[in-house]
Amino acid sequence: MEPFNFNELPEVVRQLFEKVERIEILMARLEPKEPDENEILNIEEAAGFLKISVGALYTKVSRQEIPYSKPGKRLYFNRIDLKEWIRLGKRKTLTEIRQDTDIQPYRNRMRPAIRRTY
């Protein structure tokens, strides 16, 4: 920016405001939009969301392993339903299983001998 005198101050301030407005517009375009939680996805978007191929997603649909809607000929997926499907597929850790069942792990237990009678 070039040096300016006091008389040019209003014009310089105006130019600064214009530049700031342009920067704000550019920043708004660059910000990723947060996805709508209840968003409906097509097959390609759902595959991208799940990070699997479209073919693998078609396979899951044909095996009825994944929630989907099919009004007409097209497949649609609800983002919330896909998140819930992922959450329900979570495997429990051994610690979580033990806490759920209150079973103590086998420690230094000897298995009972099998007695055979002939």
Per-residue pLDDT reduced to its tens digit, 16-63:
999 999 999 888 888 766 666 678 999 999 999 999 999 999 999 999
Q: Mark whether 58 and 81 lie in a shared domain.
A: yes
pTM listed for this prediction: 0.52
The alpha carbon of residue 43 and the mean position of all alpha carbons in its chain are separated, in whole angstroms, by 16
Whether 1 and 53 share a structural domain? no
49 and 94 housed in the same domain: yes
Structure tokens at 100: 């759920």
The range of the structural domain enclosing residue 93 comes to 40-101
Cβ–Cβ < 8 Å for 84, 92: no
25 and 58 within one domain: no
Provide the 3-class DSSP secondary structure of residue 104: coil
Over 60: is that where the pLDDT of 98 sits?
A: yes
Would residue 112 count as lying in a domain? Answer: no
> What is the per-residue pLDDT for 30?
82
Nearest to 70 by CA among 86, 80, 87, 58: 58
Of the pLDDT bands very low, low, confident and very high (cuts 50, 70, 90), residue 118 is: low
Predicted pLDDT of residue 49: 93
